[in-house]
Amino acid sequence: MGLIVPDAIEGYLANLNHGGDPLLDEIARKGADRKLPLVDAEVGMLLRVLATAVGARKILEIGTAVGYSGIWLARALPPHGMLLTMEMDPERGQEAQENFKSAGLSSRASVIMGDAQRMIAKVAGPFDLIFQDGDKKLYVPMLDRLVALLRPGGLLVTDNVLWDGKVVPGYVRSATALAERDASAERDETTRAIAEYNERLAAHPALLTTIVPMRDGVSISVKRG
Ligand SMILES: C[S@@+](CC[C@H](N)C(=O)[O-])C[C@H]1O[C@@H](n2cnc3c(N)ncnc32)[C@H](O)[C@@H]1O
């Protein structure tokens, strides 16, 4: 059972959101076979809904992988809109480009290969929406630059902010009867980095933030005007 959303609820939501997009379904299936940490279709739809709601014309994504979430985002763009998406693994970036092409989105989606922490210094905003789904330990170091790249009223959306419940001290232990001696696993480096990020988001003077406890936790922050 998932530790945040019970399997039955996840199954119900998945059935409702069965849009029947063969390309996305195939990318998700192949990704699951390779254990790639892609968002699921519900988070994909959340991204598309949010991008549509803010009338996004320019979107930045950190962590492309093979382009699954990027396709959801790019589908919300108008014909001359643009998704810039950053990936440090060249093979994944190449595969993402091919997937964008198969989705008919090559003109609206551009993969920037390299270390996003360095690349974000070089891109020009403002962006209407930024999706942060890269290295969790870089969430805090990248935060202020990403906020600077957002337009007022724009959204910063971040995946995995509940980290399977590990950001809540004692929760995983109580939910899984994890032995006391294994409890340190709850507070590993990545968990601490995400917990710190959530605190930064909550206290950030330029942001209003809510966390949606779907899948692995998705934060949605709007930049104040
Ligand atoms: C969780 S996956 C992204 C999944 C993708 N957003 C999706 O749902 O379809 C994270 C990706 O970020 C990439 N990554 C990690 N650190 C990075 C960095 N510093 N710069 C660019 N990409 C990075 C990894 O190679 C990995 O492919």
Residue nearest to atom 7 of ligand 1 (CA): 38
Residue nearest to atom 1 of ligand 1 (CA): 37
pLDDT band at 180 (very low <50, low <70, confident <90, very high): low
| Three-class SS state of 53 | helix
pLDDT tens column, 54-101: 999 999 999 999 999 999 999 999 999 999 999 999 999 999 999 999
Mean pLDDT to the nearest integer, 138-146? 98
pLDDT tens column, 146-160: 999 999 999 999 999
State phi, psi for 158 to the nearest 5 degrees. Answer: -130, 135
Distance CA 153, CA 175 (A): 38
Distance CA 178, CA 143 (A): 33
Question: 86 CB less than 6 Å from ligand 1?
Answer: yes
- pTM of the predicted model as reported, rounded to 2 decimal places: 0.95
Q: Among 62, 94, 158, 190, say which to mutate for ligand 1: greatest number of ligand atoms within 8 Å of CB.
A: 62
Cα 97 to Cα 5, 29, 104, 123, 141: the distances in Å are: 32, 18, 11, 19, 27
Tokens coding 48: 């598309």
Residue 212 in contact with residue 46, Cβ under 8 Å? yes
